[in-house]
Amino acid sequence: MGYRTGIGYDLHRLTSGRKLFLGGIEIPYIHGLLGHSDADVLLHAICDALLGAIGEGDIGELFPDTDPRYDGISSRELLKIVYELVAKKNFSIVNVDTVVVAEEPKLFPFKKQMRQAIAGILNIKEDSVNIKAKTNEGIGEIGDKLAIAAYAIVTVVSGEDK
Ligand code: MG
């Protein structure tokens, strides 16, 4: 089956009264992301990219927001479940590349910790996970600090072709 790639995208609104979780870690900020789970937009984009690569639909099919089991769940748990599905289908993850689009907060100081968290869940080396942090140049909803978006692309290889 060889090498396969998948793409993922997600966006969540920023709101007061929630903690900000991004890339599997908590980041100090005045607002957090709104969602059924902890709304970790980066981990959700990675989940979707992985599901895309292995041909298993999307995160909304796997974890419906009507299901109380996923109420307030850590997205690290969701990514673990997706990783188990990848492993069960006999795929290994080659690399994960991502873009986070956030006007605030500055993510540079947290990139290493996020890479470590993601690599740990996916059982790959830290340098196989890349995070690029961008602003939206003050334009649109993201520029107005109303939302944070993330993009992810992953490559996987099937067990027989490793
Ligand atoms: Mg989401």
pLDDT score recorded for residue 77: 96
For residue 66, pLDDT beyond 90: no
What the chain holds in terms of domains, given with CATH numbers, is 3-161 (3.30.1330.50)
CA distance 55 to 145: 34
Token pair listed for 145: 């600090």
CA distance 140 to 45: 20
Token pair listed for 24: 């599997």
| Distances, alpha carbon 5 to alpha carbons 35, 51, 139, 155, 159, in Å | 27, 10, 30, 4, 15
pLDDT score recorded for residue 70: 87
Split at pLDDT 50, 70, 90, the class of 162 is: low
| Distances, alpha carbon 13 to alpha carbons 21, 126, 150, 151, in Å | 12, 28, 12, 15
Q: Compute the distance from residue 9 Cα to the ligand 1 centre, in Å.
A: 9
pLDDT score recorded for residue 65: 84
Mean pLDDT of the chain: 96
For residue 161, pLDDT beyond 80: no
Q: Compute the distance from residue 102 Cα to the ligand 1 centre, in Å.
A: 15
Split at pLDDT 50, 70, 90, the class of 146 is: very high
Q: Compute the distance from residue 160 Cα to the ligand 1 centre, in Å.
A: 32
